[in-house]
Structure 1
Amino acid sequence: MSLLDALPLSRKQILSIVQAEARINVWEGSVRSGKTIASLLRWLHFVSTAPRGGELVMVGRTRESLYRNIIAPLTNPEIFGDLATQTVANHLAPVATILGRQVHILGANDAKAEPKIRGMTCSGGYVDELTTLPKTFFDQLVARCSVKGAKIFTTTNPDNPGHWVRRDYLKRPAQTRLRSWHFTLDDNPFLDPEYVASLKSTYTGLFYRRNILGHWVQASGAIYDSWDETRHIVRTLPPMVRWLCDSIDYGTTNPYANLLLGLGVDHNLYVVSEYRWDSRAERRKKTDAEYSAARRRWLASVPHPQSTVIGVQPEWTVVDPSAASYIEQLHRDGVHGVTPADNSVLDGIRTTSTLLSAGRLLIHESARGLVEEIPGYSWDDEKSEKGEDAPIKQDDHSCDALRYGVRTTEALWRPHIPTLLEVAA
């Protein structure tokens, strides 16, 4: 494997590549620790020698994420040299060609994905971010790798210690014929020291222990443990260069929360304003049409910071994806840019937590509902004990609206916040 000599690799990376001869091979640990490059080098070697008589598969949470995280690096000559030209893949195509072998490209984001692999006879597979896949899919993949000499290679960041990946596979290496290698951020000696220091300062609490130290730890306590009213609440706002969205957590009996997010000239995200209606406190429920009209009046009354202009038209209106009737009402009322929110709870929380930790998400003092909810926004201990990370579903309406807006508009704001460009990689 000539690339072992050509690429700058750490001793741990080289050892993991040479030793990955088990039926299931897992590179697990912190972000940016070098585990993905090591796993891909081993996968390339396996593809070049994989047994015939079966199919090869590569799997990600979605086909899009697999192309972004894995296929793109494979086709990058700066990383894989001449081998990059031997990976032929069209964006989002279901099949790629790697070293002359046909490889199926699959997404597996929920339990309905399991039939995609059923019926296949596989010689080997590569799985990106194993903890994001349903257990039924991975179990089926293991069963389908039935050709003699078949192997599976996979990477993952740590999760809850009760997660099925750790419980049923990592802790049962003999029974599952598995070998794993644990990586931490400090195992990658080729990262710029300033970048490492910046990355370490970005995360706090749970996400620091998982993403920097590589620990499988249980979620507990406050979700946004870096929250500091003196640091994150502002009285004055800078001019906004983009009005990104208003993001809505819909409620009839529960509160309706709508936050307005803008990108400031200082390259920070701001919650500029909030509209909130608590039907219990007000003793009156509103219809979809009434909420739509109230939203319109609220946005029309929001002043532009440091300007005489009144009224805002955000680029997107991000809505709780379960609120189908309200989304339809907004369409009827001619609202442009209406889209269901990305409701990936942990991804939304992680992104929002990263912004708060870095001091790049600030909240105007007028957003009282959000300001009151954040300190009490906590992990559900009962679900943590079952291996699930989830917030307590109480007094979380403005917090839900916040993660909806932050996560769904990430492609718009991330290029303007340089210190966060590579944090999630």
Structure 2
Amino acid sequence: MLAPALDLPLSRKQLRSVARATARINVWHGAVRSGKTVASLLAFLLAVAEAPPSGLIIICGRSLQTIERNVLEALADPALFGPVAAGQVRHTRGATTAVILGRTVHLIGAADSRAEGRLRGLTAYLAYVDEATLLPEAFWVQLLARLSVDGAQLLATTNPDGPRHWLKAGYLDRAADLNLRAWHFSLHDNPSLSPAYVRSLHAEYTGLWRRRMIDGAWVIAEGSIYDCWDEQQHVVDELPPMVRHWLGVDYGTSNPFSAILLGLGEDGRLYACAEWRYDSRQKRRQMTDAQYSAAVRGWLDGLQVEPEWTFLDPSAASFLAQLWEDGHPGVARAANSVVDGIRSTSTALAAGRLLVHRSCEGLLSELPGYVWDPAGTAAGEDRPLKVNDHSCDALRYVVHSTAAEWRHLIPDLIPEEVSADAAA
């Protein structure tokens, strides 16, 4: 048995889930840092050790990078798996295979529906799926079809999503009709967390995110996206001295163009310091990429600010090229995972660590009306209503794209563990 080699305390629920993970489909779901990933990985190690020599083993995730971070690094961590990790998990970063307990394991990223084609022709015995709700349904269906030999198993872990998500409606809710076992974990099911850390996580999330990430509930996204937004609390008339600056840009031609300057103040808070916005419909004149580039440069020169990075709407390829041609420093495509970006922004707002200067009129007009799209909710998707969201998008781009930069600089914020749940 591998379990006695672990130094990490395991809860009764974790041990029970490992022992009972004998169904064709086994799913660990629930709150962040709730211990579900450690339990699922321990079950996976046991299944690898018992797999027949000819059985194909695969690990699937949103991307190769998330598989490396959430699965392989966790499996190789001596603090989690003790002697089991010593030399038993070997992987070269970027390679599409790993060696686990002497077995070759194939790694498959599934960022979109086209990834389903990578499974065609495979016959697998064992599959582990990381962050299952982030994978396309077509990929999941094809993966199950590939697990066609006697005794084949799928093990998966995920944070909750909306109650109409395909995984919840099509599988978890139909467990009685399928060869499926599922275990729900809340934050309090992880015995290795300190009370202080649990309190910090409770304080970090609010509204929808608290229900999903702390309670582990599959709840609907409805109403205001930033339900913690309070103009009296979050709007300031004066700015402290800034130690760093970044810029987020949502590009528009017929739609408004918005640039939000984000600063990190000496007081350890983030500030939407200033906004440049152009609405061609109101002005009755569209601007070219070159004109936008010159206007943004003139605006920044007037502020006497040189942002370290400018994060641009990834779809604005022509404007990106124009900024590069004009020598605008530090231009990059923004991290554009919408829900993750909203979560980063919501976390900072809820903690009182993201404030907005009163001069950002476009952003202030959009934030109260930034709401979830009911049509998306009906389809089982979390997505904002695409109306009057241009400055909100620019803010999301720059806040989320710089998360790795500002989270460790703000001691009151706990590093986000949503996608790094494997450390639980």
Whether TM-score is above 0.5 comes out as yes
Q: Distance in 2 between matches of 1:422 and 1:163?
A: 23
| Contact 2:18 2:39 (C-alpha < 8 Å) held by counterparts | yes
The answer to whether residue 319 in structure 2 is matched with residue 326 in structure 1 is yes
| Contact 1:258 1:276 (C-alpha < 8 Å) held by counterparts | yes
Alignment of 1:180-259 (within 5 A): 180-243=182-245, 245-259=246-260
| Cα displacement string for residues 389-413 of structure 1 (whole angstroms, at most 9, x for unaligned residues) | 1111101000011111111122222
Secondary structure of 2:407's aligned partner: helix
| Contact 2:5 2:84 (C-alpha < 8 Å) held by counterparts | no
Aligned to 2:68: 67
| Contact 1:125 1:151 (C-alpha < 8 Å) held by counterparts | yes
Deviation at 1:147, TM superposition (A): 2.2
The answer to whether residue 310 in structure 2 is matched with residue 317 in structure 1 is yes
TM-score (normalizing by structure 1): 0.95
Letter in 2 for 1:237: L
Deviates more, 1:265-274 or 1:348-357: 265-274
CA RMSD of aligned residues (A): 1.3
Pair 68,2 (structure 1): closer, same or farther in 2 beyond 3 Å: closer
In structure 1, runs of 5+ residues without a counterpart are: 303-310
Secondary structure of 2:261's aligned partner: strand
Secondary structure of 2:381's aligned partner: coil
Aligned to 1:359: 352
The answer to whether residue 102 in structure 2 is matched with residue 100 in structure 1 is yes
| Contact 1:63 1:107 (C-alpha < 8 Å) held by counterparts | yes
Letter in 1 for 2:414: L
Percent identical residues: 54
The answer to whether residue 146 in structure 2 is matched with residue 152 in structure 1 is no
TM-score (normalizing by structure 2): 0.95
Q: Distance in 2 between matches of 1:4 and 1:267?
A: 44
Secondary structure of 1:33's aligned partner: coil
Deviation at 1:265, TM superposition (A): 2.0
Deviation at 1:163, TM superposition (A): 0.6
| Contact 2:5 2:83 (C-alpha < 8 Å) held by counterparts | no
Letter in 2 for 1:411: A
**Where in structure 1 do 4 or more consecutive aligned residues deviate above 4 Å?**
none
The answer to whether residue 414 in structure 2 is matched with residue 413 in structure 1 is no
For residue 373 of structure 2, the aligned residue among 377, 380, 389 is 380
For residue 348 of structure 1, the aligned residue among 338, 341, 349 is 341
Secondary structure of 1:372's aligned partner: helix
Deviation at 1:131, TM superposition (A): 0.2
Deviation at 1:2, TM superposition (A): 4.0
Secondary structure of 1:388's aligned partner: coil
| Cα displacement string for residues 322-354 of structure 1 (whole angstroms, at most 9, x for unaligned residues) | 111111111111112211212111111111111
| Cα displacement string for residues 105-155 of structure 1 (whole angstroms, at most 9, x for unaligned residues) | 121110111111211111101111100000111111111112221111110
| Cα displacement string for residues 346-392 of structure 1 (whole angstroms, at most 9, x for unaligned residues) | 11111111111111111111111111110110011122112111111
Aligned to 1:292: 293
Letter in 1 for 2:131: E
Deviation at 1:423, TM superposition (A): 4.2
| Contact 2:5 2:81 (C-alpha < 8 Å) held by counterparts | no
Aligned to 1:47: 48
Aligned to 1:131: 133
Letter in 2 for 1:267: G
| Contact 1:50 1:150 (C-alpha < 8 Å) held by counterparts | no
Determine which structure has greater relative contact order: mean sequence separation of CA pairs < 8 Å that are 6+ residues apart, divided by chain length: 2
Deviation at 1:51, TM superposition (A): 2.3
Deviation at 1:54, TM superposition (A): 2.6
Q: How many residues align?
A: 416
Secondary structure of 1:201's aligned partner: helix
Deviates more, 1:32-41 or 1:63-72: 63-72
Secondary structure of 2:408's aligned partner: helix
Secondary structure of 1:126's aligned partner: strand
Deviates more, 1:285-294 or 1:50-59: 50-59
